[in-house]
Amino acid sequence: MQLSVELRPHIGKMNTPVGIVDIEHDQWIAIGALNDAPLKQIGYLPKRDGAKLLWLPHVREKLPQQIIEQFEQAIVAKRDEMAQA
């Protein structure tokens, strides 16, 4: 089974006295897919070391435990890889 993961910056729009600005949060948006399925958000990953994937519950709900663990390992490895780059 092939597993793809991706981390995207979590940037939101915030009101300020001078207008709307982009704010980047201290977490990544975690994206994943199995085999050839289209990439979908699976949760959020805090940027701090040691933090685990915060799953979107409805995504995690029906995944087998083995796949959950594979996603968690892959997404943390991706964060470490990006931190070193």
Partner 1 sequence: MPATAIPDTGHGASVTFGTTSWSGKIQGIPTNLDISVPRVDKSYLATSGEREYMPGDLRELGEIELDVLFEGVTGLPAVAVGPTTETITLTYPLPGGGAAVAANVAGTGFITGVTYPPLQTGTLQVGKIRFSFDGATGPTYTATT
Q: How far apart are CA 20 and CA 29, in angstroms?
A: 21
Q: Does 25 bind partner 1 (CB under 8 A)?
A: yes
- Amino acid symbol at 21: V
Binding mask 45-64 for partner 1 (x = CB under 8 A): -x----x--xxxxx------
CB of 18 to partner 1, least distance (A): 15
Whole-number Å distance between alpha carbons of 67 and 48? 23
Footprint on this chain of partner 1 (rule: CB under 8 A): 8, 10-15, 23, 25-27, 29, 31, 38-41, 43-44, 46, 51, 54-58
